[in-house]
C-alpha cells in the first residue's frame, strides 16, 4: 500500500456529521475536512474554522495601491518632469486622489483574488479523496469526515477510535 493520506468516516445524517465535527474540533485536530453533498449552515462553526485571512492580502494591496498612486503622480509631475497644468501646484493630494483611489481599488482586487488562490491552493489538479470510491456518494446522499495523516495529532488507532466514537461508519484509510 502507498503512503496513507488519512482516515475517512461516513455519516448518514446532517446532525450526525455536525456533532462528529464538533468532537473532532474539540479533540484538537487541525488538518481535516468535512465533505457534504450540499452546504450545511453552521458547519464552519462546528468545525471550529476561523475567518479567512484573505482580508489581510486585501488591506496590503489597498495600501500599496494608494501609495503607488500618490507617489507616481508626485514623481511624474513634481520631481521627474515638473510641469504646471491649469495653474495648479506641481503636486497636490487633491488631483492625485482620484487616481490613487482607483489604484487602491484595483490593487485591492488583485490582492484579494491572488490571496484567495494562495490560501485555498487552487488550482489543485489532484486530491487523494478524488480516487476514493466513497467520494461518489459525497456528491449524492452521504456525509464524510476526512482526517489527514499530516495532522500533528494523527495516530491511526486513536483517530480511528475517535471517529468510531463520533458515530462514523465504514471507516477506511485513504491512499496518498
Nearest approach in angstroms of CB 41 to other proteins is 5
89 binds other proteins (CB under 8 A): no
Cα atoms found within 13 Å of the Cα of residue 45, Cβ hemisphere only: 2
Under the binding rule (CB under 8 A), the answer on residue 173 touching other proteins is no
Contact 144, 18 (CB under 8 A): no
Cell 490560501 sits at which residue? 119
Asked if 26 touches other proteins (CB under 8 A), the answer is: no
Provide Rg for the chain, Cα atoms.
Answer: 25
Q: Which of 98, 139, 156, 165 forms a contact with other proteins (CB under 8 A)? A: 98
Query: Whose Cβ is closer to other proteins: residue 88's or residue 169's?
Result: 88
Interface with other proteins includes 82 (CB under 8 A)? no
Which residue number, 6 or 62, has a Cβ lying nearer to other proteins?
62
Rounded CA gap, 76 and 156, in Å?
A: 63
Nearest approach, Cβ of residue 131 and other proteins (Å): 28
Residue 51 binds other proteins, judged by CB under 8 A? yes
Beta bridge partners of 66: none
Residue with Cβ nearer other proteins (86 or 123): 86
Residue-wise over 39-65: b if at least 16 C-beta within 10 A, else e? ebeebeebbeeeeeebeebbeebbebb
107 to 146: interface string for other proteins, x by CB under 8 A: ----------------------------------------
Amino acid at each position: 500500500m502507498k503512503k496513507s493520506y488519512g482516515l475517512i468516516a461516513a455519516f448518514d445524517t446532517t446532525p450526525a456529521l455536525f456533532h462528529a465535527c464538533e468532537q473532532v474540533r474539540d479533540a484538537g485536530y487541525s488538518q481535516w475536512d468535512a465533505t457534504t453533498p450540499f452546504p450545511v449552515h453552521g458547519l464552519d462553526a462546528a468545525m471550529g474554522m476561523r475567518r479567512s485571512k484573505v482580508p489581510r492580502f486585501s488591506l496590503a494591496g489597498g495600501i500599496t495601491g494608494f501609495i503607488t498612486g500618490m507617489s507616481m503622480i508626485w514623481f511624474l509631475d513634481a520631481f521627474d518632469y515638473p510641469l504646471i497644468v491649469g495653474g495648479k501646484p506641481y503636486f497636490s493630494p487633491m488631483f492625485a486622489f482620484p487616481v490613487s483611489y482607483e489604484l487602491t481599488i484595483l490593487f485591492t482586487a488583485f490582492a484579494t483574488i491572488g490571496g484567495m488562490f494562495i490560501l485555498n491552493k487552487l488550482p489543485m489538479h489532484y486530491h487523494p479523496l478524488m480516487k476514493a470510491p466513497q467520494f461518489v456518494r459525497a456528491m449524492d446522499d452521504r456525509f464524510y469526515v476526512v482526517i489527514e495523516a499530516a495532522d500533528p495529532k494523527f495516530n491511526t488507532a486513536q483517530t480511528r477510535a475517535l471517529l468510531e466514537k463520533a458515530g462514523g461508519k465504514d471507516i477506511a484509510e485513504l491512499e496518498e
